[in-house]
Amino acid sequence: MYTQAMDTLPPDAASNVAPLRSAEEAALQARFDARIDAGDFIEAKDWMPENYRKTLTRQISQHAHSEIVGMLPEGNWISRAPTLKRKAILLAKVQDEAGHGLYLYAAAETLGTSRDQLTQALLTGKAKYSSIFNYPTLSWADVGCIGWLVDGAAIMNQVPICRCSYAPYARAMIRICREESFHQRQGFESLLTIMTQGTAAQKAMVQAAVNRWWWPTVMMFGPPDDQSPNSAQSMRWGIKRVSNDELRQKFIDAAVEQARVLGVTLPDPDLQWNAARGAHDHGTINWAEFWQVIAGDGPCNRERLAARVDAWEEGAWVREAALAYAQKQVPEALAA
């Protein structure tokens, strides 16, 4: 199986390791801290504090689930893409997202949690996935907005993760970022085509989609820094390199110029350049909506989870067939 690790621990290895004597543990912790301070990368077989392992498993698995659930809103339009070219592009993009999910599940597995455990956490609603995928895609322009805004935000967040201190995650992110950058451009180009060649009604469709996606995208970066319980420790460990608010600001600053080129208005009357800060001020974010969506009560949470549960159940025969095939190969391989 494809893995991001150079060398992987067996799934239950972490729990099999005998408890370390405290002096030994203190020495290992000190060495780990020194490596993090020196900007070293940690590999799967290296000693790491249990909370570092847990934090990474949480973040990487949530990230993997986001890629997989993120296929649903765009997948909704594959059969209704306006041209063969757009359909081929969208098919390729949605397949790329599946690939990203697989790289990330493989990276999470290197930390000692099995793919089945990770999947069950998603299907039972225990694990989170990005809030953004709980919003509907009502028109073809929503697909363009996912590319332009959602993938644009994803790149902003993911480029710093290419330098994450956990090497298997960092390696996965390098490849993912290259593909996300193509995704962002195709979304922008699709919207630009409508805005430069479309009818008035089609242009209005783009503006309506931008109005729907702007605020949920701004929320994607997570809660404000002073309300982000995981940030301080994740920054200390080099898992997060740039804070939620800083990334959000960078995204907003870049999007303002892109919106101008597209000829759309961002739905925030308070958005304006602040020369003193060298950045755009923006309006108040509706954090109550964000917390409601991540608590499971957004516009499409139930639909998204139900779709994943159905896919898991309907895919049972594929898993059984693959297992039966693999079991047949083992004796043949041993005999060879």
Q: What is the contact surface with ligand BYC in residues (CB under 6 A)? A: 58-59, 62-63, 66-67, 70, 97, 128, 130-131, 146, 150-151, 154, 157, 220-223, 228-231, 234, 240, 244, 294
Shortest reach from residue 29's CB to ligand BYC, in Å: 22
Q: Max Cα separation, the chain?
A: 73
Min separation Cβ 237 and ligand BYC, Å: 11
For residue 291, CA distances in Å to 132, 151, 160, 231 come to: 12, 21, 25, 17
Q: Which of 187, 328, 335, 211 is nearest to 269 (CA)?
A: 211
d(C-alpha 233, C-alpha 69), whole Å = 27
How is residue 203 written in tokens?
């242009």
**Measuring CA to CA, which residue among 262, 246, 66, 297 is closest to residue 149?**
262
141 CB-near residues (< 8 Å, 6+ apart): 191, 194, 202, 205, 206, 208, 209, 210
For ligand BYC, the closer CB: 28 or 78:
78
Min separation Cβ 330 and ligand BYC, Å: 35
Shortest reach from residue 240's CB to ligand BYC, in Å: 6
* Cα–Cα dist 60/51, whole Å: 14
SS3 of residue 297 by DSSP: helix
Residue nearest ligand BYC by beta-carbon distance:
70
Torsion sign (Cα): 204, 206, 211, 212: positive
CB of 5 to ligand BYC, least distance (A): 19
Work out how close the CB of 119 gets to ligand BYC at its nearest, in angstroms, rounded to a whole number. 16
- For residue 121, which of 310, 322, 308 has the smallest C-alpha distance? 308
